Amino acid sequence: MADCNGIISQMFIYPVKSCAGIEINQATLTATGLAFDREWMIVDQDGLFLTQRQIPHMVWITPELTSHSLKLKAPNQPTLEIEFNQRGASRAVTVWRDTLLADDMGDEAAAWLDQYLAVPGKRFRLVRFAKDAKRLSSKDWTKEIDAPNMFSDGFAVLVATQRSLDILNERLLEQGHEAVDMLRFRPNIVVEELDAHTEDDLSRIQIHSPSGLIELALVKPCPRCPIPNINPYTASSSPEVVDTLASYRSLARMDGAVCFGMNAIVLSGAGHPLHVGQRFDADYAI
C-alpha cells in the first residue's frame, strides 16, 4: 500500500531552455523527461549556454509546437519556424559542467536571435540536442543509476506541489507583495492533494496507466537561483520571491540552499502517456 496519493493538476514543457513554457494537458514520457522538454538551447559564439540569469528577456521568446515544427515568437519579431527534420552541423556546446555535441539550427535562427536578444559582444546560435548525444544526471543523487536528460539543469523531470506555491503566496500577500504563479518555478509536473513541500520527502511516484507502469524517483531538492524573481510576463526582476522563500525554505541537507520542488528521474514508463488528471501513488523516503 502506498504511503500517500495525489493527482496531476498541471503539466509544462519548456522546449527551448530558459525561454517561455507551454502548459499542456498531456505528453509522452521519455527517458529524458516529457517529450520536447529542453530539447533546444540558446548558446553564445563560444557554445556556452545562456539563460534568463544573463538575459531576462529570453522569457519573452515563446515557443509553439506543431505537428512538424517548432515555432518561436517574440515581441516585434517575425515568427521563426524550424522543421523537426532540420538538423545542421554538430557543434560542441556546454551546459553547466557538461560539454557535448548538439545540432546547429542554422543561420536564419541565429540572425533571429541576434536581432531579438541584441547583447553587445554576443552572437547567438540555436542548437538541438543531438540524436546520439548522451548527458547523465549526477550519480551522487541517482544512486548510481544512469539517468539521461537533455538540456535541463540536470534531471529529467521537476515535480512541485500546488500547496507549496499556495504557502509562498500567502506569505507574499502578508508582506504586501503580489502573488506569483507556478511558471516562476518552471516545473514539469504539478500535483495536488499533498501538503506543501511533501515532494521533499517522497522517494517514488507511481502511475498505473492503461499502457503500463510509470515510475519516477524523486532524487534531489531543487536549489533556486534568482530566476523565480523574474516576472515571466514583464521580464522585470525583484527580489521578494526568493527572499521570502529564504525565510523558511533553506534546507540543511542542501547546505542551506533555498529550495522549491524536487528533481526526478525516469525509472520506468518511457513511451507511455502522462496527462492532467492522472492519479498517482507515492512512497516516502526511508
Whether residue 201 contacts residue 276, with contact meaning beta carbons closer than 8 Å, is answered with no
Question: In sequence order, what DSSP letters do the residues of 174-212 get, joined into one string?
Answer: HTTPPP--GGGG--SEEEESS-TTGGGGEEEEEEEETTE
201 confidence band (pLDDT: 50, 70, 90)? very high
pLDDT above 90 for 234: no
Mean pLDDT for the chain overall? 96
Strand partners, 202: 284
pLDDT score recorded for residue 36: 98
- For the chain, the domain total comes to 1
User: CA dist 273 to 33, 194, 216, Å?
Assistant: 11, 22, 14
Containing structural domain, residue 72: 4-284
Q: What strand order describes the sheet that includes 33-34?
A: 33-34, 26-30, 273-275
**How far, in Å, CA of 93 to CA of 53, rounded?**
18
For the segment 159-184, what is each residue's pLDDT rounded down to a tens digit?
A: 999 999 999 999 999 999 999 999 99
* Parallel/antiparallel/unpaired status of strands 26-30 and 33-34: antiparallel
pLDDT score recorded for residue 286: 75
**How far, in Å, CA of 33 to CA of 279, rounded?**
18
pLDDT score recorded for residue 209: 87
For the segment 28-74, what is each residue's pLDDT rounded down to a tens digit?
A: 999 999 999 999 999 999 999 999 999 999 999 999 999 999 999 99
**How far, in Å, CA of 223 to CA of 128, rounded?**
26
Backbone angles phi, psi at 139, to 5 degrees: -70, -10
Q: What is the CATH number of the domain that holds 185?
A: 2.40.33.20
Strand partners, 138: none
Cell numbers for 227: 530566476
**How far, in Å, CA of 173 to CA of 165, rounded?**
12
**How far, in Å, CA of 214 to CA of 228, rounded?**
29
1 confidence band (pLDDT: 50, 70, 90)? confident
pLDDT score recorded for residue 168: 98
Residue with cell 556546454: 94
Residue 63: enclosing H or E segment and its boundaries? strand 62-65
Across 200-205, average pLDDT: 96
Across 266-286, average pLDDT: 95
